[in-house]
Chain A
Amino acid sequence: MLDLTYTAPKPKVIQGAKDDWELVIGMEIHAQVSSNAKLFSGASTAVGAEPNSNVSFVDAAMPGMLPVINEFCVEQAVRTGLGLKAAINLRSAFDRKNYFYPDLPQGYQISQLYHPIVGEGEVIVEMGPGVARHVRIERIHLEQDAGKSIHDMDPTQSFVDFNRTGVALMEIVSRPDIRGPEEAAAYVVKLRQILRYLGTCDGNMQNGNLRADVNVSVCRPGQYEKYQATGDFSHLGTRCEIKNMNSMRFIQAAIDYEARRQIAIVEDGGSVTQETRLYDPDKNETRSMRSKEEAHDYRYFPDPDLLPLEIEQAWVDDIAARMPELPDAKKARFMGDFGLTDYDANVLTAELEAASFFEAVALGRDGKQAANWVINELFGRLNKEGLAIGESPVSAGQLGGILDLMQKGEISGKMAKDLFEILWTEGGDPAEVAAAKGMKQVTDMGAIEAAVDAIIAANPDQVEKAKANPKLAGWFVGQVIKASGGKANPAAVNDLVAKKLGM
């Protein structure tokens, strides 16, 4: 297999009024675990249900109810850890994070502060061909989601729905290895891609199934390297945390705004206050969540309702043995086995379903040609119609059939595109449709020769001109193909015309 190696990208530099500044970014991604039931109850995780219908007495924190852990959610967290090449902790434990809010009926969130289930791992974030940031993962822990408050249904009341309460989340915590807004967005894209390949989180950001908290600080060039050498955070600036963003665009805009805000404060002789901030996309600014400050005393303690979570190495090994091929490996294989360019391999592996479609088309055929057709014809057409790959009217088998007809020389490239169009709108078997529509490239050399002779005989003036200027031979080729109704093989015509004209 082709091994991909990368050089690190340059950190983004922002010019302040006085100096150059660099960014240091760490992220906490909250990814909803794909499961049928909640983390500690048997209520459904389905979206779109009537309010408070996917709620058990455990979720509603009725007195005397006890949590029982959903083993599949644990498996999903382990699978995610393995996918991020992370250490799996065979012993982890649950803690209570205490705070009051109407969408948190227990008065605490069950989380894993002291002993997370997954330890250190890594994500490779590509920033261009051969250039990538290695972002270290510090930990992944399992925790409960909160409910949902709706503030715009009544002038004086907030309405609360517990359907989300208790749904399993994985909090994926990175080290401060991200060095710019673009890298931050690319990190989320890559993490989302891996989670979707693993099937551990659907990555639906609009539904809030993947949300990001971003820690941002700024420092002078050179300081980050000192931090890297010593692990001493005092070389870096004071950080602010921007909470709860669910769009790549907002993440970039928020980081950019926040960095500039901090630079302005420091250049003005002030100092940044460590605090939690919210991004307002309408105003494109971040602002302090002062109300959160006092609430930050979470008084964590081990949850007495839950014994430590102990899992067996054999169970982890079994999950590891059933791991799907991940994006980095698939990309390397596509480049190695099918001779794809870096760019094409990225495009084709972005989504697992598209990668599988391509592979079905490419198997036993010319990989580059398959890639061109999938990317240009199929994706182009899907984008135009706003369809997902799973909704493609043309199957991988049909597209492969078109490529086979072309490969055998039975249809030309032009005919292939027409055939694709017919299959898209009307469906059918490629070979049968091509035959029924009379799409057949004439490869009978006798017929082509006769046509060439006829054109040459009918145009003696052109023959003289072409003999003086060989570039005009193309005119004959065009005439022959036209006379054949577009069915003559252009390469064969070309050869014959050249021969007949004595070139």
Chain B
Amino acid sequence: MSIDVDTARRVAKLARIRVDESDLPALADELNGIVTFMEQLNAVNVDGVEPMTGVTPMRLKRREDVVTDGNMPERILKNAPDAREGFFAVPKVVE
């Protein structure tokens, strides 16, 4: 797998990271280096091995269906760049 400049531009856009056009070739190179490094793992034979999600044999933690949280709109909104009448205010987005 190889990452070209177009792919790097697309990945940056999807991640909402602004990258200057002039920086894209270097970014693509860097990403290629990372992917190539990871591809060493392809050498390992994993036939019949279940994908692993953790290293400890734990059961997914559950909670009961009880309301234990919330009712703190001022704390939720505290770091918002703009908040009005209890809402987050953002530049207009409409379909």
Q: Which residues of A contact B (CB under 8 A)?
A: 35-37, 41-44, 50-58, 60, 68-74, 93, 98, 100-102, 149-151, 153-162, 278, 289, 291, 294, 297, 299, 302, 306-310
Contact of B63 among A68, A156, A160, A289 (CB under 8 A): A68
Give 1 or 0 for each of B53-71: 1 = CB within 8 Å of chain A CB.
1100011111111111111
Contact of A52 among B13, B60, B76 (CB under 8 A): B76
B46 within 8 A of A: no
Known contacts: A42-B67, A42-B70, A93-B53. The answer to whether A159 contacts B62 by CB under 8 A is no
Q: A37 CA to B66 CA in the complex, in Å?
A: 6
Known contacts: A55-B76, A56-B70, A289-B95. The answer to whether A154 contacts B84 by CB under 8 A is yes
Known contacts: A41-B69, A50-B86, A51-B87. The answer to whether A158 contacts B63 by CB under 8 A is no
Q: A57 CA to B91 CA in the complex, in Å?
A: 23
CB-based nearest B residue for A41: B69
Per DSSP, chain B at the interface is: loop
In the complex, besides A36-B66, A60-B76, A101-B93, 18 extra interface pairs with C-beta distance below 8 angstroms are A37-B65, A37-B67, A43-B70, A51-B73, A53-B70, A68-B62, A69-B63, A70-B62, A70-B64, A71-B65, A74-B62, A149-B93, A151-B93, A151-B94, A156-B92, A302-B51, A307-B54, A307-B60
B89 CB to closest chain A CB (Å) equals 4
23 contacts between A and B (CB under 8 A): A37-B63, A51-B85, A55-B72, A57-B76, A58-B69, A60-B76, A69-B61, A71-B62, A74-B62, A98-B14, A102-B90, A102-B93, A151-B94, A156-B92, A157-B82, A157-B84, A158-B92, A159-B85, A159-B88, A162-B88, A307-B53, A307-B58, A310-B59
Q: A54 CA to B85 CA in the complex, in Å?
A: 15
A102 touches B16 (CB 8 A): no
B35 within 8 A of A: no
B77 within 8 A of A: yes
Known contacts: A35-B65, A154-B84. The answer to whether A308 contacts B53 by CB under 8 A is yes
Q: A43 CA to B95 CA in the complex, in Å?
A: 29
List residues of chain B with CB within 8 A of the CB of A158.
Answer: 89-94
Contact of B73 among A42, A53, A150 (CB under 8 A): A53
List residues of chain A with CB within 8 A of the CB of B51.
Answer: 302
List residues of chain A with CB within 8 A of the CB of B10.
Answer: 297
B94 touches A310 (CB 8 A): no
B77 CB to closest chain A CB (Å) equals 6
Q: A69 CA to B63 CA in the complex, in Å?
A: 6
List residues of chain B with CB within 8 A of the CB of A308.
Answer: 53, 60
List residues of chain B with CB within 8 A of the CB of A54.
Answer: 70-71
A115 CB to closest chain B CB (Å) equals 10
List residues of chain B with CB within 8 A of the CB of A43.
Answer: 67, 69-70
A92 CB to closest chain B CB (Å) equals 10
Instruction: Work out how many contacts link A and B, with CB atoms closer than 8 A.
Output: 136
CB-based nearest A residue for B10: A297
Known contacts: A102-B90, A302-B53, A307-B53. The answer to whether A162 contacts B76 by CB under 8 A is yes
A390 CB to closest chain B CB (Å) equals 24
B59 touches A307 (CB 8 A): yes
Q: A43 CA to B71 CA in the complex, in Å?
A: 8
List residues of chain B with CB within 8 A of the CB of A302.
Answer: 51, 53
A165 CB to closest chain B CB (Å) equals 10
List residues of chain A with CB within 8 A of the CB of B70.
Answer: 42-44, 53-56
List residues of chain B with CB within 8 A of the CB of A42.
Answer: 63, 66-70
Q: Which of B61, B73, B88, B89 has the most CB of A within 10 A?
A: B88
Q: A302 CA to B50 CA in the complex, in Å?
A: 14
A161 touches B87 (CB 8 A): yes
CB-based nearest B residue for A148: B87
B45 CB to closest chain A CB (Å) equals 22
Q: A72 CA to B87 CA in the complex, in Å?
A: 30
Q: A153 CA to B61 CA in the complex, in Å?
A: 41
Q: A44 CA to B53 CA in the complex, in Å?
A: 30
Q: A52 CA to B88 CA in the complex, in Å?
A: 9
Q: A159 CA to B58 CA in the complex, in Å?
A: 41
B65 touches A72 (CB 8 A): yes
A161 CB to closest chain B CB (Å) equals 6
Q: A343 CA to B66 CA in the complex, in Å?
A: 42
Known contacts: A101-B93, A158-B92. The answer to whether A44 contacts B59 by CB under 8 A is no
Q: A41 CA to B67 CA in the complex, in Å?
A: 9
B52 CB to closest chain A CB (Å) equals 10
List residues of chain B with CB within 8 A of the CB of A162.
Answer: 76, 88
